Amino acid sequence: MRLQALPIIESVLSSMRQQHQNTCLQHVTASVSQSSMITSINTEADWLAASLRLKQRKVPFVLVTVLGARGSTPRDTETKMVFTDEESFGSIGGGNLEFQVGNIAQEMLQESSENQRIEYFQLGPSLGQCCGGSCSVLFEVFRPSTLNLAIFGAGHVGQTLVGILESLPINIFWVDSRMETIKPKAGPSVKVIQSDEPKDEITNMPVGSSYLIMTHNHQLDYDLLCSVINRGDAAYIGIIGSDTKWRKFKARLAHQGYKPESYAGVFCPVGLRAITGKRPMEVAISIAAQLIQHRDSKAEKTAQRGLHWKTLSETAKQLSESNINGS
Q: DSSP characters for 120-172?
A: EEE-SGGGT-----EEEEEEEEE---PEEEEEE--SHHHHHHHHHHTTSSEEE
Answer whether residue 205 shows pLDDT above 90.
yes
Q: Please, are residues 105 and 64 in contact by the beta-carbon 8 Å criterion?
A: yes
Distance CA 263, CA 239 (A): 12
Q: How confident is the model at residue 128 (pLDDT cuts 50, 70, 90)?
A: low
Distance CA 28, CA 24 (A): 6
Residue 292's nearest CA partner among 113, 167, 168 is 168
SS3 115: coil
User: For 306-327, what is the mean pLDDT?
Assistant: 55
pLDDT > 90 in the chain, percent: 49
Read off the pLDDT of residues 243-272 as tens digits, 9 standing for 90 and up. Answer: 999 999 999 999 999 999 999 999 999 999
Q: Please, are residues 232 and 238 in contact by the beta-carbon 8 Å criterion?
A: no
Complete domains list, the chain, with CATH? 23-144 (no CATH), 147-302 (3.40.50.720)
Name the β-bridge partners of 238.
Answer: 212, 267
Sheet with 61-70: strands ordered across? 40-42, 87-90, 80-83, 61-70, 134-142, 116-122
Residue type at position 62: V
Distance CA 200, CA 223 (A): 10
Q: Is the dihedral of CA 94, 103, 100, 1 positive or negative?
A: positive
Name the β-bridge partners of 89.
Answer: 42, 82
Torsion of CA 175, 179, 184, 189, to 10 degrees: 40
Answer whether residue 8 shows pLDDT above 50.
no
The alpha helices in 150-307, defined as continuous H runs, are 156-165, 179-182, 218-231, 243-255, 260-263, 280-302
Answer whether residue 227 shows pLDDT above 70.
yes
Q: What's the pTM?
A: 0.57
Answer whether residue 221 shows pLDDT above 60.
yes
pLDDT for 139 equals 94
Read off the pLDDT of residues 47-100 as tens digits, 9 standing for 90 and up. Answer: 889 998 888 787 889 999 998 888 777 778 889 999 999 899 999 888 888 999
pLDDT > 70 in the chain, percent: 73
Instruction: Spell 185-222 as b/e; 16+ CB within 10 A means b.
Output: ebeebbebbeeeebbebbeebeeebbbbbbbeeeebbb
Distance CA 153, CA 216 (A): 7
